[in-house]
Amino acid sequence: MNIKSLVIAAVAAVVLSSTANASFITFTDRAQWEIAVGGTFSEETFSSASTTGFTIEQIGSGHSTGISGGVYHDRTVLDTSYTNYHFNSLVNAFGANWDLRPGNAGQGLQLFAGGQLITPQIANTYNGGFFGLVSTTAFNLVSVHSGSYSGSAETHDVDNVVFASVSSVPEPESYALMLAGLGLMGAVARRRQAKQA
């Protein structure tokens, strides 16, 4: 195999691996989520009117929002309003307690982390339990949209938002770059050896 073939193979490996999406593991048990992030995380309990570590942006109209009573009250409306959580730094773990009972059973909620849809969605019967995720790729934006259950909106409360940056397994493109570099080093060494002979 010559150097040109190695370079083409390395470039192809990087291009193909970089198109892969992040992998997500979802959790409905906060204790398991905490174990997955190694026990180090930040938490927002909404004990004041401002948030720490992230900002909340409401997109569209129809929100019935605000921080009061130690929770963040929100309402998303199908295709017209959603809420963004903008983190001050990159994170790859996020979760919260979600209560979808305030407006009765609505549409449920769909989360997007870094623009990628998280499955499963949060069911419209969720009653204050934990739902969170850990990703193989860092992100700084979580978007909360109405889900796919019947109805036209989802009124909900959010509490105890947790987020973390965790050490993760290297992504596929890291391995591809490492293998490409090792392959090129081997080819150069072989070429030098051939020239000396």
pLDDT of residue 169: 46
Greatest CA separation for the chain: 80
Q: How many domains does the chain have?
A: 2
Tell whether 62 and 41 lie within a shared domain. yes
Q: Give the N- to C-terminal CA distance of the chain in Å, as an integer.
A: 19
Tell whether 133 and 87 lie within a shared domain. yes
Q: What is the pairing mode between strands 153-164 and 127-146?
A: unpaired
Mean pLDDT of 148-173: 82
55-60 contacts, C-beta under 8 A, 24 or more apart: 55/85, 55/86, 55/88, 56/83, 56/84, 56/85, 56/86, 57/83, 57/84, 57/86, 58/83, 58/84, 59/83, 59/84
Tell whether 97 and 189 lie within a shared domain. no
Per residue in 86-96, pLDDT (tens digit) is 999 999 999 99
Tell whether 11 and 87 lie within a shared domain. no
Tell whether 146 and 187 lie within a shared domain. no
Q: How confident is the model at residue 171 (pLDDT cuts 50, 70, 90)?
A: low
Q: How confident is the model at residue 64 (pLDDT cuts 50, 70, 90)?
A: confident
Q: Looking at residue 75, which CATH number applies to its domain?
A: 2.60.120.430
Tell whether 140 and 193 lie within a shared domain. no
- Which pTM was predicted? 0.74
Per residue in 112-123, pLDDT (tens digit) is 999 999 999 999
Tell whether 91 and 158 lie within a shared domain. yes
Tell whether 155 and 179 lie within a shared domain. no
Tell whether 123 and 176 lie within a shared domain. no
